[in-house]
Structure 1
């Protein structure tokens, strides 16, 4: 009957969507200039099936990056229940690095035009990150010259680490995140060299080249 067949079709469509997005992430992290046909081939679906869901490569790139932004927001919101401000910030950093959210930022910035919804979510993400930084500073553990924008740069530094073996990539990222987090902690050392990133300074990367 139609009532039972429709949920089945929806379920299959949802499964296909996951497969397509996973394939797109793999393909475009290796080569942001790859054609959308490479995604269909990797996903094992017909190009027409892919285009029914994602009418253009730009649309697909936008979806990938927006999903990463939503994951960032989700992890930041989850950190709000942690009573210790320093633990909230460092736990958040660890989870976002493990989820590999910022590899998409590093590789795909400038390859599509962000939507208004992405802009709103980006502002929400920045507000949440600023809240985590403020709480870490109130705990007394965060160095006095660290700013919210440093958080994004630390995440991008970790995302830039990538070797052929995914397990080794994860190990190396955790190693260097630990070093970077130690540098965030307050101490008796000198101030950081140079001025920090200015608010919005990195936003220009998102304009299509």
Structure 2
């Protein structure tokens, strides 16, 4: 059974929504303080059309970050369930995160809005899946034993800071740099890592709205 094609009005709304979210990613990652009108301009849609879908900037930010989290969970699930060569499965996961650019959302937008209960629940699910993924690749002997989830997040976040200007060139350079990190992450490793990885609590604290921290 195939899905019924969307009607003209619904299809246009779906196209507009896709354009809005793509534009929001570009605008707010570049400048979290940008006005929502800049998103409408970048998306090529009327401000009224944007407000019908997202009544406030916070609503748009929540949707953008929830979608990014959802994509990350898909990538972790694929890594855990992937068959075949374990190292290639891990490499595909890391490349997928870099290409999806979900770390840029965390780095730039964490603390700028109040996450929804659903986002917190998805984050809890993500923590459990991250642990399962690490266990899988460590047990397979391809990931060094002292690597933690916080290490992987810091790697992908550092890669997200690379910006050459052109989107395609930036992606290519990020993927090249990722290969250097992958050599350091691969078992057995050249020696023990110093200090401790950033904790789940430290990562989670970044999502507390900045206004609440200032109170």
| TM-score, with length taken from structure 2 | 0.89
Q: Which deviates more, 42-51 or 81-90?
A: 81-90
Specify the alignment match of 1:50 in structure 2. 50
Deviation, 1:162, is 1.4
Does residue 180 (structure 1) correspond to residue 168 (structure 2)? The answer is no
Q: What is the CA–CA distance in structure 1 between the aligned matches of 2:7 and 2:55, rounded to whole Å?
A: 23
| Deviation per residue, 1:114-157 (Å, 9 max, x gap) | 11101111122222222111111011121121112222222111
Unaligned runs of 5+ in 2: 1-5, 211-215
Q: What is the CA–CA distance in structure 2 between the aligned matches of 1:176 and 1:131, rounded to whole Å?
A: 26
Residue 88 of structure 1 contacts residue 132 of structure 1 at CA under 8 Å; is this kept in 2? no
Which of structure 1's runs of 4+ aligned residues deviate more than 3 A? none
Q: What is the CA–CA distance in structure 2 between the aligned matches of 1:75 and 1:187, rounded to whole Å?
A: 24
Deviation, 1:109, is 0.8
State how many pairs are aligned. 204
Residue 143 of structure 2 contacts residue 187 of structure 2 at CA under 8 Å; is this kept in 1? yes
Unaligned runs of 5+ in 1: 1-5
Residue 61 of structure 1 contacts residue 112 of structure 1 at CA under 8 Å; is this kept in 2? yes
Specify the alignment match of 1:30 in structure 2. 30
| TM-score, with length taken from structure 1 | 0.92
Deviation, 1:188, is 5.7
Residue 85 of structure 1 contacts residue 132 of structure 1 at CA under 8 Å; is this kept in 2? no
Q: What is the CA–CA distance in structure 2 between the aligned matches of 1:87 and 1:132, rounded to whole Å?
A: 13
Residue 144 of structure 2 contacts residue 189 of structure 2 at CA under 8 Å; is this kept in 1? no
Specify the alignment match of 1:40 in structure 2. 40
Deviation, 1:189, is 2.2
Does residue 72 (structure 1) correspond to residue 72 (structure 2)? The answer is yes
| Deviation per residue, 1:36-89 (Å, 9 max, x gap) | 111111122221211110010011011111111111111122221224433322
Q: What is the CA–CA distance in structure 1 between the aligned matches of 2:179 and 2:36, rounded to whole Å?
A: 37
Residue 89 of structure 1 contacts residue 133 of structure 1 at CA under 8 Å; is this kept in 2? no
Q: What is the CA–CA distance in structure 1 between the aligned matches of 2:128 and 2:189, rounded to whole Å?
A: 29
Specify the alignment match of 2:143 in structure 1. 142
SS of residue paired to 1:206: coil
SS of residue paired to 2:196: coil
SS of residue paired to 1:197: coil
